[in-house]
Structure 1
Amino acid sequence: MSVYTEVERDDLVAFLSDYSVGELVSYQGISDGIENTNYFVSTSKGEYVLTLFEHHTFGELAYFLDVMTFFYMNDIPSAHPEADSQGQYLKKLCGKPAALVVRLPGKGVNTTATTEQCAQIGAVLADMHIVGQSFQSRRPSERGPDWRQQIAQQLLPQLDDERASILKNELAYQQGYATLGLPEGVTHSDLFRDNALFEGNKLSGIIDFYFASDEYLLYDLAVVVNDWCVGEDGLPEMDRYQSLMTHYLKKRALTESEQANWNMVCRAAALRFWLSRLQDQLFPREGELTQIKNPDAFLTILKYHREHPLMLDFN
């Protein structure tokens, strides 16, 4: 959610005129995040988030907006897009596909999560995985095992010997990931602390579904655990982990194959974000307010999972 494309006020006023959202009051760029250009937009009728998509085509984006609408219509607390006067969710702004999404109350979790926040995110993730089984559209993951192999080859020449050795070893270990045959469905795949809004310890909604895809449900859970359950030292912390997992498992039990492959999938999720952050760091894109997150945070988590497989028995 960085700013790569600057939007002039007159262009935004013209864009908003095709929506029933009132007159533009103010707008400002959002510096958090990485992938797309985002602005907070205030109008005479409400608060919104404007997203300009830097990488996806109009055809690709219909899926993401359908996912958002599906979860909203199935009582998952989540942001939903506004339709224009023709009933369309997507328009063009500054030459880019753009969407206007209702801004939910609350703030992302900018520090370590509380155990109560972990409990709520575990419960809502289970709800998403359950209701998501009836979602009809399909979309393969952009950041799956093939992507991880490809990006790794691009990055390896840039790494020191220690990190290169870890990366090669991890790719070899995860060779069978694509054929695990674990339960799949629509996943958020990027449900970090800054993509869930809270008012205190109360969850107000899930945002930023633009990595949604068909993936192992266990992978979605691993992405969440790797971010929400870490302590101030950046390592998994057991009280947070137990709170999140207990509330997830109350609603959706893991299959035997999911339990057997939990460590591999936790490592795959850590590897994915280590690689994407390395890519952003070593091959940065231009942008006015772009933010590059520290890849070492996920190298630390990957090392932890390699040495300390997380338990699944909470009795």
Structure 2
Amino acid sequence: MAVFTTVSDDDARELLTRYTLGELVALRGITAGIENTNYFLTTTQGEYVLTLFEVLTAEQLPFYIELMHHLADQGIPVPQPQTQVNGKRLTTLHDKPCAIVSRLSGGYEPEPGPAHCALAGETLARAHLAARTFGIRQPNLRGLSWWQQTIPQVLPFLGAQQAELIQTVLDEQTRFADSDIYKALPFGPAHCDLFRDNVLFDGTFEMPKMGGFIDFYFAGWDTWLFDVAVAVNDWCIDRNTGAFELAKLRAWLQSYSAVRPFTAEEKLAWPTILQAAALRFWVSRLFDYHLPRPAQTLKPHDPRHFERVLRERRQDAAHALP
């Protein structure tokens, strides 16, 4: 994520005294993203990622850290939070909560093909099933209540047609959340931000191998269908138009459903949940673009992209779940 807080080599050396991870070799800031401060941390024992949390509180963080720990212990390829000599996995640096996690191998694929989509879909389904035994509950903090609070803040920046669209979809989602169909959807810990740059691959483009899922700091309890919708709205689209590329979409959904079959209620809810996933990121990108926080390296995404995706989801046939 963006570097909001500067960490020096001396800071890192002091931090490492709380662990048994060896001595500092190198420290390098990661400039992509907009939410936390991240550094690649190399020690004499391995490769890690150091994260300082700029928004999430010390009270909220155990959910994310322990979820990753739980999934890693269940064999899901995710970063493993490192445990300090005091037995804890969270600490502080520059008066901010922080953690060190293992660095996964591989890199993200900016233009994934159907094989990448199939691997990502299968792994997400496995993660959902593994998360069923995770005991800490925390809502998706960028869910419906956050949309309801944030949309009034971004409305002054929108044109009349945009404002009508965003308010209409919010009203529809609010009503749908009270429906029997929504309440019957499978629900549990979800990544909620599984974009293509949050998945790492080894191997070749033609024969990729799963490296793992990263950046769980938007995770929360939500419908698993929302997690799927967030992913396919990024992985399986033409970036210029927001329209689905059907070979990728079929590969993703079929691989997911082979591990965790979709329910009848999920098949009914799919068109609406796809719009919910597009709305969530249109709102957050509007907020980050028009009401940004100060940062050393901050590159907010263009919010018009998810406006296009949302409009496309309202026009297309939603492509039924397998």
TM-score normalised by L of structure 1: 0.96
Match of 1:205 in 2: 212
Question: 2: distance between equivalents of 1:313 and 1:255?
Answer: 9
Alignment of 1:111-150 (within 5 A): 111-150=110-149
Q: 1:284 to 1:94 in 2, by over 3 A?
A: same
Identity of aligned residues (%): 39
Contact 1:236/1:301 (<8 A) preserved? no
Question: Aligned-residue CA RMSD in angstroms?
Answer: 1.2
Contact 1:39/1:49 (<8 A) preserved? yes
Match of 2:91 in 1: 91
Match of 1:39 in 2: 39
Residue type at the aligned position of 2:187: E
Residue type at the aligned position of 1:253: P
Match of residue 260, structure 1, among 253, 257, 268: 268
Contact 1:3/1:31 (<8 A) preserved? yes
| Matching of residue 190 in structure 1 with residue 198 in structure 2 | no
Q: What is the deviation of 1:231?
A: 2.6
Match of 1:65 in 2: 65
Match of 1:236 in 2: 244
Q: What is the deviation of 1:309?
A: 2.9
Q: 1:170 to 1:313 in 2, by over 3 A?
A: closer
Contact 2:270/2:321 (<8 A) preserved? no
Q: What is the deviation of 1:112?
A: 2.2
Alignment of 1:74-85 (within 5 A): 74-85=74-85
Q: Which has the higher mean CA deviation after the structures are superposed, 287-296 or 214-223?
A: 287-296
| Matching of residue 290 in structure 1 with residue 289 in structure 2 | no
Match of 1:164 in 2: 163
Q: Which has the higher mean CA deviation after the structures are superposed, 286-295 or 225-234?
A: 225-234
TM-score normalised by L of structure 2: 0.94
Number of residues of Structure 1 aligned to a counterpart in Structure 2: 313
- Aligned partner of residue 99 in structure 1, secondary structure: strand
Residue type at the aligned position of 2:200: L
Match of 1:16 in 2: 16
Match of 1:226 in 2: 233
Match of 1:301 in 2: 309
Residue type at the aligned position of 1:76: I
Question: 2: distance between equivalents of 1:151 and 1:119?
Answer: 34
Question: 1: distance between equivalents of 2:130 and 2:28?
Answer: 35
Match of 2:224 in 1: 217
Q: Which has the higher mean CA deviation after the structures are superposed, 11-20 or 116-125?
A: 11-20
Question: 2: distance between equivalents of 1:215 and 1:123?
Answer: 19
Question: 2: distance between equivalents of 1:295 and 1:165?
Answer: 16
Q: 1:313 to 1:153 in 2, by over 3 A?
A: closer
Question: 2: distance between equivalents of 1:217 and 1:162?
Answer: 31
Question: 1: distance between equivalents of 2:176 and 2:12?
Answer: 44
Task: Extract unaligned runs of 5+ from structure 1.
Answer: none
Contact 1:218/1:265 (<8 A) preserved? yes
Question: 1: distance between equivalents of 2:127 and 2:320?
Answer: 21
Contact 1:112/1:230 (<8 A) preserved? no
Q: Which has the higher mean CA deviation after the structures are superposed, 228-237 or 270-279?
A: 228-237
Question: 2: distance between equivalents of 1:313 and 1:59?
Answer: 37
Residue type at the aligned position of 2:197: D
Cα deviation, 1:187-226, whole Å, max 9, x if unaligned, reads 0111111111111321111111111111011101101111
Question: 2: distance between equivalents of 1:74 and 1:102?
Answer: 16
Q: What is the deviation of 1:232?
A: 4.3
Question: 1: distance between equivalents of 2:48 and 2:86?
Answer: 19
Shift >6 Å, 4+ stretches: none
Question: 1: distance between equivalents of 2:321 and 2:288?
Answer: 37
Contact 1:155/1:279 (<8 A) preserved? yes
